[in-house]
Structure 1
Amino acid sequence: MPHVTIPGSSGTVRPMRLLGDPELTAPCREVTAFDAELAALVEDLFATMYAHDGVGLAANQVGVPLRVFVWDCPDDEEIRHLGHVVNPRVTHAGGVTVTGHEGCLSLPGVHAPTPRHDETVVEGVDLHGRPLRVEGTGFFARCLQHESDHLDGGVFTDRLTGLRRRRTLRAARRAPWAVTR
């Protein structure tokens, strides 16, 4: 029987950056070194994501300002999508816009209905620099857009407007983990 490695099983859970931390609002740098350090980062991202019961995690959420994210996320048909992408860029975001439940590991316990496209294509490379194209629909498309936003210095609250935005940011300010009160 072949040896199967479970993503994150050799990783270290890293501290999570929370809303208010400047790391979350700065755009991330392109990865230029495809080495053991990058592989360790991806393992740590999986370990951290699983430890916090997430479905996706971007490198800047653990304080590493590089364009990398991981996911273990179902789509609307409950098909599991598991992977990572380095230097991703959204090449397609389309279909209908769906306002759905969204949260973030950097805003624990804070959720809001957030508009996202129902179809997404992300292109980048894998750990070895090989081209990678990831297509997502439904909830998985939401995940791909959410993590891509992080790498550009955004969080889901940036997509909210009006009363919904004010209420969500107020909930974040009042949360026990709030960086600034």
Structure 2
Amino acid sequence: MSILPILIWPDARLSQRCDSVQGEDLDDLIADMFETMYAAEGRGMAAPQVGVMKRLFVMDCTWKEGEKSPMAMINPTIMAAERIPEVVEEGCLSIPGILVPVERPKAVTVQWTAPEGDIHMADFDGFEARCIQHEFDHLNGVVTFDHLPAAERSKAEAEFLEKHS
């Protein structure tokens, strides 16, 4: 297993839509993504964040509380979302040090393929639902800045660039 370099915004790959996974062997990539996510103290990581333009993400929303619950989702689809949204500040491993308010549904129903090839469908709410939607955004070339109105986005981008120049 290896810790992979994490792409940092404004890397153009973070704005690209990913291709579907088509039978590739992903075991090593998934293991490396988990190792990278844990080392970076994240709770989710999408393949494009490590330069792999495939529809895959990993997450573990509980490990910081002591119990690990790693999950990998290949070719995920959000089948349904609760109509009532909430706004919560989100961080991103590809935009370190910046939190931005993002409005998202509180709950989602997701279908995905697991690494062993089984197709799953489940309901998620709370932080798990938010994490899934955040990582799903990455698969579509969307970052947290894209959720902001123009003036707020310009301010957040300038703050990030000032911190990381």
Distance 1:130 1:157, change over 3 A: same
1:111 paired to 2:99: yes
Tell me if structure 2 keeps the 8 A contact 1:81–1:140.
Answer: no
1:95 CA displacement: 4.0
Distance 2:2 2:121 in 1: 27
SS state at 1:70 partner: strand
1:100 paired to 2:88: yes
SS state at 1:73 partner: coil
Q: Which amino acid in 2 is paired with 1:18?
A: I
SS state at 2:96 partner: coil
Deviations 1:17-50 (A, max 9, x none): 0111111111111111242xx0111101100100
The structure that is strand-richer by fraction is: 1
Task: Give 2:131's match in structure 1, choosing from 143, 156, 163.
Answer: 143
Correspondence for 1:7: none
Tell me the percent identity.
35
Greater than 4 Å deviation, 4+ residue runs: 78-81
RMSD: 1.8
1:65 paired to 2:27: no
Task: Give 2:16's match in structure 1, choosing from 4, 15, 26.
Answer: 26
| Residue range with higher mean Cα deviation, 16-25 or 87-96 | 87-96
Distance 1:137 1:25 in 2: 26
Distance 1:18 1:134 in 2: 31
Structure-1-length-normalised TM-score = 0.83
Structure-2-length-normalised TM-score = 0.91
The structure that is helix-richer by fraction is: 2
Structure 1 unpaired stretches of 5+? 1-10
Tell me if structure 2 keeps the 8 A contact 1:34–1:127.
Answer: no
SS state at 2:88 partner: strand
1:131 paired to 2:119: yes
1:139 CA displacement: 1.4
